[in-house]
Structure 1
Amino acid sequence: MNFRDKIAVMLSMTRTEVAVVSLLLLSFVLGIIVNGSRSFQKAALFEAKEQTPYFTDAKVDSLLREAMLFEKSLAEKGLQADHIGLSQKMSSADAADSGKIVFSGATVEELSSIPGISSVLASRLITFRKSKQERVERFQDFLEVKGIGKRRMETLKQHLILD
């Protein structure tokens, strides 16, 4: 008796059934091997893609040079770049040159000289400034003041400097 005949007797199957089961088992194992090799190929492609830099050294140098020029131009205009956004840092002399009013020291008369701001609204702005302990950092904060909407906030951006 040969090996296939012994297996057929142990499993109580015919030789044909053993051949079919062996063929199915062999194709199953080959499928697993092919699928595994594809996974390795995908992983290798992913690693190769991950290792390529997003920017070349020349591009990084170019971006750094542009950032330095941008910060230099801001410094010439009296502004200072922080890495969250742009915060305006102007002295009152710079503000007078630009025609803008420094909000932290503005009076009711100065604020009411802004188009669209009445003396009542100017006094509300000063009360708001005092409630914030003289620390108004964003123009968005002005939306808390009664009578100030997005349009008036845009007007205030044009005429005020926050410290």
Structure 2
Amino acid sequence: MFDNLSKKLNLTKTELKILGFLLLTLILGVSIKLIFGINEKSEVTVYNYEKMDSVFFNIEQNVDNNSEIINKNVDYKQEVFDFNNRSFNKIYTKRLPAEKSINLNKATKQELMNLPGIGEKTAESIIALRDKLNGFKKPEDLLKVKGIGSKKLDNIKKYIYID
């Protein structure tokens, strides 16, 4: 039966099943409405918001009188410190070095970490490679370090030199 109907309507079996379900649901809904006589004219509740509007407008007028509360200067950084258990003394912030100020063959880990895109692990890897090679001969030797590609090398080239 589904095969003949699906060929006549040019629908798949799944589409026919979905169509049948929708029709059955529609018929069931209409029959429930007719049997139980659900009335469309139900009582509508009208809300009066005049009292709430007056409260809102009074608050709005009082805001101008209490402008010192709104313009209060707050030390947000201190509030973060007050609610955070973590120690912020060990946070390391990067300061970009001056151009050609870091000797790649003598730089410390902290100096290397000031270079853009160089973190703690990469700085340690640079020092390890420097020790392995007995010093760098040219800046391109940094490409052998994992995590340093040509773009990163171009970004840090202006800050380093080799003697």
TM-score (norm 1): 0.38
> Larger relative CO (CA 8 A, sep 6+): 1 or 2?
2
TM-score (norm 2): 0.38
Q: Greater helix percent: which structure?
A: 1
